[in-house]
Chain A
């Protein structure tokens, strides 16, 4: 008897082009942890070492770490997903977490097991090296790069080459602070003005010849204080990409503030110095870099196109295709057409970025069976994109996603909020922003708000503290956590901001008012109600709010103050006797109190 006929054949996995790992780092980490535990390594040096290798601290304990696995340009292959599934069950909590910066995080890992994770990652070519600490963090790229109808060329190979150049590069091991690159496809899909270095691909025609290059934005970023980045020059040709990157990093390395950890990201340097002066310095430094490289230093950009091959489909045993309920809704709110005819990119929304080990396992087979490029791309929104799915395969893909619980609709709408990890694992968190994001998603999907076209381009982002891990500053409706108080009773309370955006008209949200955690859902619904009552026919929530924020709205609502006035009655705290639940944060059955430990961003 043969067994092969019991199993469906799964297409071979596409293998990653780049091996980011180094197995010797696993042994070294294991040894270093032992030395640290024996007291032969001081606390500060060990923390620096740990962060440099991608292991972050955990809330209220030094026994556990969070391992942040980098996905340069967001690329992840089926065997890698399978391995992360296994590692999450062995060393973490049986779930993994997709971050907003194209990392996958494993939480609540015992410090002594971190090296075992490194070992597992090296089997599939992944690393967490320089995912934390004062280094070049994961180099991001739009999940639509290469398939976006609005892009001039695919910036993915440049993002990968940049990641490769700086990973383990001595010049990037001890910067004043972390340093981030975001590549994008086009203005709309990028986050280029909210990062140290943001890049949009551009083609310039000179004498009938077309030349590749980038629009580069410098000195943006979200945090306790956020700034919008400045465009360096009209056009930076591709051969200047690396020189410009090195020049900017050298200036930051030399002049960045190494003392005041609370304000030492490059955006503060740019702000303190003034843009014109900084810009000039970059031009000068770039000339020096260009002239003094002892050998010609260039990025190794691998422009060989990925093989696009539709996986062979096993015909449906039952004959006729039955399309499951909810397909049309899912197709509309989770997929986008690609430049390439007959193909779509499919976005999977994960509740606040969380996915179970068994879902990861199922997902790896789905990628093998449905993506003609044989891999997936993680996105900016704690989500994942399966690209190059043939139109004809979409109904079957949807059925398969239902089977593993990954077919939630609304991935590309306001009903997929971002929530940082909050009090589930972060030392700095004041509130359970993570659970709140899940609650909002569940409620809004139940209300079918994902089907409302007026809401599709708006966003909700929730951070558990004033630092901006969830990027609340660029959300249509942004929230960051803190504590509120009635007499001696405390409750989770969020500062709400409104009108933030990260596209070509990037701006930071305007502070509106504080909303108790348990009132956030009714407040958002109220904002939608106000909008519906006052909108013009072709308005979306985002465009309407944009007008209000800029003082251009002529309905009853003329300013944010008018919105605030309507919301104020909703946020008045009841007494603890009237509503005890109000005083409990989401996911908690004991009374709320703020408690934080030491942050490590600055370490």
Chain B
């Protein structure tokens, strides 16, 4: 079991990260695009653009990437992005799946970090390759086949993290809608634990249910939701990482809200 669950620590706050950087006791991963990273980034951070990871996220390849970023089984890792934590979540989840136990999300976005005037530069850190082991955690992954059978169970809750209109238009039957915007609060990528618990509790998302999250295509928004659930003390979460895009491509059944022209209420 990874330490994310053990310690309950999901995010790393700004001050802690600054002192860990000073102590050189952390590996910081910036998952933004390479051009943005090159311009400036949190001091000492390495770059792993999400697109690069997604081009091949097989465990073998991820292991190589992790090694090349100088991460071994004991290295504390903090991941950040500038997309309300969704991209960082997807990368953190991938590391967790590989078996890395000490990975957390920066509590805020890079823009906010910068707006606080905190340490950033364009220097490329020197990285020594390390050796990480591979102990996969299939219990945090949901595949389409798994989802199809799990859906029929009463103790499984399926959460759709796309925006409400997309949900109304089409979703996996039985899913409930929890748009990703609901997960954050002001400058933080996640609400406070208490706020999150109250929100989930109102929705009946509690206790020991197994919870599967999904979003539009690659498991970013739902990756954030995966961590939101854990932060609220609901450890039994899985990410349907290929999400609705795969579900549709496989021509599996979908559901929609009929007989209403809700799209015409949008001012977009």
| Interface residues in chain A, defined as those with a beta carbon under 8 Å from any beta carbon in chain B | 1-3, 6-7, 30, 33-34, 37, 58-61, 89-95, 97, 107-108, 110, 112-113, 115-116, 350-351, 354-356, 359, 421-425, 432, 434-435, 438, 585-588, 595
| Interface residues in chain B, defined as those with a beta carbon under 8 Å from any beta carbon in chain A | 114-117, 163-165, 168, 176-177, 179, 181-182, 198-199, 202-204, 257-268
Q: Is the interface of A mostly helix, strand, loop or mixed?
A: mixed
Chain A residue contacts of B163, Cβ below 8 A: 93-94
Given the contacts A6-B115, A30-B202, A90-B181, A588 and B261 also touching, CB distance less than 8 Å: yes
Q: Per a CB cutoff under 8 Å, which of B117, B165, B203, B264 touches A94?
A: B165
A116 near B199: Cβ-Cβ < 8 Å = yes
Chain A residue contacts of B259, Cβ below 8 A: 59-60, 423, 595
Q: Give Cα distance in the complex from A587 to B182, angstroms.
A: 28
A1 near B117: Cβ-Cβ < 8 Å = yes
Chain B residue contacts of A93, Cβ below 8 A: 163-165, 262, 265-266
Q: Give Cα distance in the complex from A586 to B257, angstroms.
A: 18
Given the contacts A90-B179, A94-B165, A423 and B265 also touching, CB distance less than 8 Å: no
Chain A residue contacts of B266, Cβ below 8 A: 93-95, 354, 356
Q: Which residue of B lies closest to A92 (CB)?
A: B164
Q: Per a CB cutoff under 8 Å, which of A37, A61, A438, A585 touches B257?
A: A61
Q: Per a CB cutoff under 8 Å, which of A33, A94, A356, A432 touches B164?
A: A94
Chain A residue contacts of B262, Cβ below 8 A: 93, 107-108, 424-425
Chain B residue contacts of A33, Cβ below 8 A: 202
Q: Give Cα distance in the complex from A325 to B71, angstroms.
A: 57
B267 near A95: Cβ-Cβ < 8 Å = yes
The CB with the most chain B CB atoms within 10 A, among A58, A93, A355, A585, is that of: A93
A354 near B267: Cβ-Cβ < 8 Å = yes
Q: Per a CB cutoff under 8 Å, which of B164, B203, B261 touches A435?
A: B261
The smallest C-beta distance from B180 to any residue of chain A, in angstroms, reads 9
Q: Give Cα distance in the complex from A418 to B265, angstroms.
A: 13
The smallest C-beta distance from B210 to any residue of chain A, in angstroms, reads 20
The smallest C-beta distance from A171 to any residue of chain B, in angstroms, reads 32
Q: Which residue of A lies closest to B183 (CB)?
A: A90
Q: Give Cα distance in the complex from A377 to B208, angstroms.
A: 48
Chain B residue contacts of A97, Cβ below 8 A: 265
A115 near B265: Cβ-Cβ < 8 Å = no
> Known contacts A60-B260, A93-B164, A438-B264; can you find 4 more A-B pairs with CB under 8 A?
A92-B164, A94-B266, A424-B263, A588-B261
Q: Which residue of B lies closest to A31 (CB)?
A: B202
B265 near A89: Cβ-Cβ < 8 Å = no
Q: Give Cα distance in the complex from A110 to B168, angstroms.
A: 11
B182 near A423: Cβ-Cβ < 8 Å = no
Q: Give Cα distance in the complex from A424 to B267, angstroms.
A: 13
The CB with the most chain A CB atoms within 10 A, among B116, B165, B199, is that of: B199
Chain B residue contacts of A94, Cβ below 8 A: 163-165, 266, 268
Chain B residue contacts of A434, Cβ below 8 A: 261, 264-265
Q: Give Cα distance in the complex from A6 to B259, angstroms.
A: 48
The smallest C-beta distance from B164 to any residue of chain A, in angstroms, reads 5
The smallest C-beta distance from A437 to any residue of chain B, in angstroms, reads 10
Q: Which residue of A lies closest to B119 (CB)?
A: A1
Chain A residue contacts of B263, Cβ below 8 A: 424, 587
Q: Per a CB cutoff under 8 Å, which of B116, B182, B204, B261 touches A424?
A: B261
A2 near B264: Cβ-Cβ < 8 Å = no
Q: Give Cα distance in the complex from A354 to B263, angstroms.
A: 11
Q: Give Cα distance in the complex from A531 to B263, angstroms.
A: 36
Chain B residue contacts of A585, Cβ below 8 A: 261
Given the contacts A3-B114, A108-B164, A354-B266, A422 and B261 also touching, CB distance less than 8 Å: yes
A60 near B164: Cβ-Cβ < 8 Å = no
A sample of 20 inter-chain contacts (CB < 8 A) reads A59-B259, A91-B179, A93-B262, A93-B266, A94-B268, A95-B267, A97-B265, A107-B262, A110-B177, A112-B202, A112-B204, A113-B199, A113-B203, A354-B265, A356-B267, A422-B261, A424-B263, A434-B261, A587-B261, A595-B259
Q: Give Cα distance in the complex from A359 to B268, angstroms.
A: 10
Chain A residue contacts of B267, Cβ below 8 A: 95, 350-351, 354-356, 359
The smallest C-beta distance from A13 to any residue of chain B, in angstroms, reads 15
The smallest C-beta distance from A175 to any residue of chain B, in angstroms, reads 30
10 nearest A-B pairs in the assembled complex, by CB-CB distance: A354-B267, A435-B264, A89-B181, A424-B265, A587-B261, A587-B264, A3-B117, A59-B260, A95-B267, A356-B267
Q: Which residue of A lies closest to B267 (CB)?
A: A354
Chain B residue contacts of A435, Cβ below 8 A: 261, 264
B261 near A423: Cβ-Cβ < 8 Å = yes
Q: Give Cα distance in the complex from A586 to B260, angstroms.
A: 12
Q: Give Cα distance in the complex from A108 to B179, angstroms.
A: 12
Q: Give Cα distance in the complex from A548 to B121, angstroms.
A: 75
Given the contacts A90-B182, A94-B163, A94-B164, A60 and B265 also touching, CB distance less than 8 Å: no
Q: Give Cα distance in the complex from A344 to B239, angstroms.
A: 54
Chain A residue contacts of B179, Cβ below 8 A: 89-91
The smallest C-beta distance from B194 to any residue of chain A, in angstroms, reads 12
Given the contacts A93-B165, A112-B202, A3 and B264 also touching, CB distance less than 8 Å: no
Chain A residue contacts of B164, Cβ below 8 A: 92-94, 108
Given the contacts A1-B117, A2-B117, A90-B179, A95 and B261 also touching, CB distance less than 8 Å: no
Chain B residue contacts of A1, Cβ below 8 A: 117
Q: Which residue of A lies closest to B114 (CB)?
A: A3
Chain A residue contacts of B182, Cβ below 8 A: 90-91, 113
Q: Give Cα distance in the complex from A354 to B265, angstroms.
A: 7
Chain A residue contacts of B268, Cβ below 8 A: 94-95, 356
Q: Which residue of A lies closest to B205 (CB)?
A: A112
Q: Which residue of B lies closest to A110 (CB)?
A: B177
B117 near A423: Cβ-Cβ < 8 Å = no
The smallest C-beta distance from A423 to any residue of chain B, in angstroms, reads 5
Chain A residue contacts of B176, Cβ below 8 A: 110
Chain A residue contacts of B165, Cβ below 8 A: 93-94, 108
Q: Give Cα distance in the complex from A49 to B203, angstroms.
A: 19
The smallest C-beta distance from B184 to any residue of chain A, in angstroms, reads 8
Q: Give Cα distance in the complex from A238 to B261, angstroms.
A: 46
The smallest C-beta distance from A92 to any residue of chain B, in angstroms, reads 7
Q: Which residue of A lies closest to B177 (CB)?
A: A110
B117 near A424: Cβ-Cβ < 8 Å = no
The smallest C-beta distance from A86 to any residue of chain B, in angstroms, reads 8
Chain B residue contacts of A113, Cβ below 8 A: 182, 199, 202-203
Chain B residue contacts of A6, Cβ below 8 A: 115
Q: Give Cα distance in the complex from A1 to B164, angstroms.
A: 41
Q: Give Cα distance in the complex from A238 to B168, angstroms.
A: 50
Chain A residue contacts of B168, Cβ below 8 A: 108
The smallest C-beta distance from A413 to any residue of chain B, in angstroms, reads 20
Q: Which residue of B lies closest to A30 (CB)?
A: B202
Chain B residue contacts of A59, Cβ below 8 A: 259-260
Chain A residue contacts of B204, Cβ below 8 A: 37, 112
Q: Give Cα distance in the complex from A422 to B260, angstroms.
A: 9
A425 near B115: Cβ-Cβ < 8 Å = no
Q: Which residue of B lies closest to A588 (CB)?
A: B261
Q: Give Cα distance in the complex from A95 to B268, angstroms.
A: 8
Q: Give Cα distance in the complex from A116 to B268, angstroms.
A: 24
A432 near B264: Cβ-Cβ < 8 Å = yes
The CB with the most chain B CB atoms within 10 A, among A92, A97, A350, is that of: A92
Chain A residue contacts of B198, Cβ below 8 A: 30, 116
Q: Which residue of B lies closest to A61 (CB)?
A: B257
Chain B residue contacts of A7, Cβ below 8 A: 115
